Amino acid sequence: MKKKDTNVAAMCGPQIGEGGKTGDWRSLRPVISHERCIPFQKKKSACFLCWLYCPEGVVKAGLPIEINLEYCKGCGICAEECPPKAILMVREDKS
Amino acid sequence: MSRVQIMTGNQAAAIGAVLSGVQVVAAYPITPQSQLAEIMSQNVESGKLHAEYVRVESEHSAMTVCISASTVGARVFTATSANGLLYMHEQLHWAAGSRLPIVMCCVNRGVGAPWTIFNDQQDSLAQRDTGWIQIYCRNNQEILDSVIQAYRIAETVYVPVMVCYDGFVLSHTMMPVEVPEADKVRAFLPPYVPHTVLSPENPKNLNPVLFPWKREDTEGVLCDGYMEMRCKLQTALDRSREVIAETSRSFADVFGRDHGGVLWEYRTDDAEIMLVGMGSLASEATMAADLLRSEGIRAGVVGIRAFRPFPKEDIRRALQKAKGILIFEKSISYGFEGGLCSEIKAVMYATGKRAPIYNFIAGLGGRDVKSGELAEAAKSSLAELEAGKPERPTEWVNCG
Ligand code: SF4
Ligand code: SF4
């Protein structure tokens, strides 16, 4: 038996996934070409504009960078901000 | 020393709020605001009330500030009227949906256009489905006492309460009012315990997007969807009927005054003709009932004190023996009839057998209502009733 929701009003805590898996309403998916990505090329922490601008906080600023597609909503802001255009937005049904 | 003072309805409401120890007051002087907001600011300025007074730029913001302050655990108060209340409409839904025990006085006035500053009840009746409890007062003593009761009711069921009283008829009319002792009010009204406190130690995302379905959170709790949350609000309103009645009874035990719970009755024991109304109009109807009785007509009055939650069982019980039911109201649901009339018809439908119901619209935009006119309306309905004629369509008293 699942625990019942005893909250008087609607609320959730600040944990990853509290709002449910929000990635499934995405129609465009960000696809990274690591060979064009600045930190990947230079082998050092640099740029990370995608990490900075992502409104969902789902970009991990590592080498290479990673996007958590379970929660990425496909807004395309990362692709828009990426200086070398290393991120391409691809239609989910064309993958 | 006597604790009775002569005061207006606005002054009575302000004393009720001060005695309730409100911590945040937010208001905007929209036309037509009442003197109540002004008195509250004087109370804060003079140090009589230790509260934060927030001057906002609109009624919409006034309710928003109340919502925010209540969310962090403050007891809050605001007041409005007519178009100001309409401007708050969206936030009224938000306050109720967030289950915040805000108390607001609505000084009932007609709604523009065309402009009016005078009394009717169209403003609060138009807020029927916002999820607020609505209490209608019939004199200044009841206003003061109802504000105190409203906090106890609101904080028990976590539903906001609108204390409604007629503009000018009560708001600007002086009456003797007994002021309760502060320590007794403190004992009657325990401190506000919020259902959830928004604080840095316990961060929450309040009122997130809810879906048509339930969803599991990261702790394995199956969280309610939008529909379950609506159902919880409805359950709370349903429960509030008994809470209003209980609050009224315990108030009477402490202070010796019982204004009735969800409704009150006047000379109904042997009454055949029932006059029904809300607020000062129902009070006027008691004088009409006296007039009718002096002419040998057994009339009584049922005053609806809580319009939401609607006192369905109590109304059925109070009206079941009536031969004729007359509903007087100061508002109209355009294109149909008076809203109170429709609701009483709906409640009586379930009894199987019901008496003819006559609907009268009276006193819109401050048009004077005299007890004699109400008695005349009752007599003409009674004559038709006895002649076996069908119910008449809604009538406008003293109009045209
Ligand atoms: S598409 Fe939008 S949500 Fe997804 S990673 Fe890029 S910026 Fe973040
Ligand atoms: S913005 Fe583009 S180049 Fe910069 S880190 Fe992100 S993907 Fe790489």
**Residue B63: predicted pLDDT:** 98
Give the model confidence (pLDDT) of B94-124 as tens digits: 999 999 999 999 999 999 999 999 999 999 9
- Distances in Å between the Cα of A55 and the Cα atoms of B150, B256, B271, B377 are 42, 59, 68, 65
In a shared domain, residues B182 and B284:
no
Tell me phi and psi for residue B332, to 5 degrees: -140, 140
User: What residues of B are in contact with residue A3 (Cβ under 8 Å)?
Assistant: 219-222
Cβ contact B218–A18 (<8 Å): yes
Contact B299, B275 (CB under 8 A): yes
- Decide if B220 is inside a domain: no
Q: pLDDT of B233-270, one tens digit each?
A: 999 999 999 999 999 999 999 999 999 999 999 999 99
The confidence score (pLDDT) of residue A29 equals 96
DSSP label at B323?
S
Mean pLDDT of the region B392-399:
92
Closest by CA position to B239, among listed B357, B296, B154: B154
CA distance B225 to chain A (A): 9
Domains observed in chain A:
49-95 (3.30.70)
Of B125, B108, B147, B105, which Cα lies nearest the Cα of B247?
Answer: B147
DSSP-derived pairing of the beta strands B175-178 and B161-166: unpaired
State the pLDDT confidence band at A95, using cuts at 50, 70 and 90.
Answer: low
Q: How many angstroms separate the CA atoms of B27 and B12, rounded?
A: 18
Q: Is residue B210 part of a domain?
A: no
Query: How far is ligand 2, taken at its centre, from the CA of residue B34, in Å?
Result: 59
Cross-chain Cβ contact B207/A10 below 8 Å:
yes
Q: Which of A53, A56, A85, A92 to mutate to test the pocket of ligand 1 (most atoms within 8 A of CB)?
A: A56
Q: Are residues B159 and B10 in the same domain?
A: yes
Task: Write out the H or E segment, with its range, that includes residue A50.
Answer: helix A49-53
B217 touches chain A (CB under 8 A): yes
Do B290 and B375 belong together in one domain?
yes
Inform me whether the pLDDT recorded for B197 exceeds 80: yes
B70 and chain A: CB distance < 8 Å anywhere?
no
Two structure tokens written together for B54: 């927030």
Q: Which pLDDT score, from 0 to 100, does residue B211 have?
A: 86
Bridging pattern class, strands B133-136 and B76-80? unpaired
Taking contacts as CB-CB distances below 8 angstroms, the residues of chain A near B230 are none
Interior angle at CA B288, CA B285 and CA B291, nearest 5: 160
CA A14 – ligand 2 centroid, Å: 27
User: Does residue B193 sit within a domain?
Assistant: no
Indicate whether B1 pLDDT > 60.
Answer: no
Ligand closest in space to the Cα of A49: 2
Q: What is the mean pLDDT of residues B182-204?
A: 93
Q: Do B170 and B271 share a structural domain?
A: no
Residue B164, Cβ density class (10 Å: 0-12 exposed, 13-18 middle, ≥19 buried): buried
Structure tokens at B288: 């009409």
Residue B174 shares a structural domain with residue B269: no
Question: B82 with B167, same domain?
Answer: yes
Task: For residue B114, give the CATH number of its domain.
Answer: 3.40.50.970
What is the ipTM, given to two decimal places? 0.84
Task: Name which residue sits closest to atom 1 of ligand 2, judged by CA.
Answer: A82
> Between chains, do A7 and B196 touch, taking CB under 8 Å as contact?
yes
Does a structural domain hold residue B7? yes
- Band (B390; pLDDT cuts 50, 70, 90): confident
Determine how β-strand B263-266 pairs with β-strand B299-304. antiparallel
Coil, strand or helix: which one is B61? helix
Count CB-CB contacts under 10 A for residue B174. Answer: 13
Question: Which residues make beta-bridge pairs with B328?
Answer: B360
Look at ligand 1, atom 3, and give the residue with the nearest C-alpha: A72
Over 90: is that where the pLDDT of B219 sits? no
On the question of pLDDT at B353 being above 80, the answer is no
Contact A2 B204 (CB under 8 A): no
B338 is in which domain, residue-wise? 263-396
Smallest Cα–Cα separation from B24: which of B10, B38, B8, B40?
B40
Convert the pLDDT of each residue in B11-52 to its tens digit.
999 999 999 999 999 999 887 778 999 999 999 999 999 999
| Structure confidence at residue B354 (pLDDT) | 79
**CATH for B348:** 3.40.50.920
Asked if residue B211 belongs to a domain, the reply is no
pLDDT confidence tier of residue A26, bands split at 50, 70 and 90: very high
Q: Which two tokens stand for residue B121?
A: 């009840």
Peptide bond into B203 cis (omega under 30): no
Judge: A16–B228 Cβ closer than 8 Å, yes or no.
Answer: no
Residues of chain A with Cβ-Cβ distance to B98 below 8 Å are 9
B269 and B179 assigned to the same domain: no
Between A5-14, A50-59, A75-84, B299-308, the lowest mean confidence (pLDDT) is in: A5-14
Name the closest ligand to CA A67: 1
pLDDT, average across residues B273-292:
97
From B136, B167, B188, give the residue that closes a domain: B188
Distance from C-alpha of B205 to C-alpha of B228, rounded to nearest angstrom: 18
| B93 touching A (Cβ < 8 Å) | no
Determine contact, residues B16/B145, Cβ cutoff 8 Å: yes
**Position B98 in a domain:** yes
Give the separation between CA B220 and CA B215, rounded to whole angstroms. 9
Query: Is pLDDT larger for residue B373 or for residue B354?
Result: B373
By the CB < 8 Å criterion, does A1 face chain B?
no
pLDDT tens column, A2-16: 788 999 999 988 887
Query: B223 lies in a domain?
Result: no
Indicate the helix (H) or strand (E) that contains B11.
helix B9-19
- Contact state of A5 with B195 under an 8 Å Cβ cutoff: no
Domain boundary among B154, B188, B222: B188
Q: What is the DSSP letter of B367?
A: -
Chain A contact probe: residue of B72, B158, B192, B205 with most A CBs at under 10 A: B205
Say if B242 falls within a structural domain: no
Q: Tell me the pLDDT of chain B averaged across its residues.
A: 95
Residue A67 CB–ligand 2 contact under 6 Å: no
| Residue among B150, B53, B121, B125 at smallest CA distance from B366 | B121
For B5, the token pair is: 């003072």
Cα B383 to Cα A46: distance, rounded to the nearest angstrom? 91
Are B47 and B149 in the same domain? yes
Number of domains in chain B: 2
Among B188, B215, B249, the domain boundary falls at B188
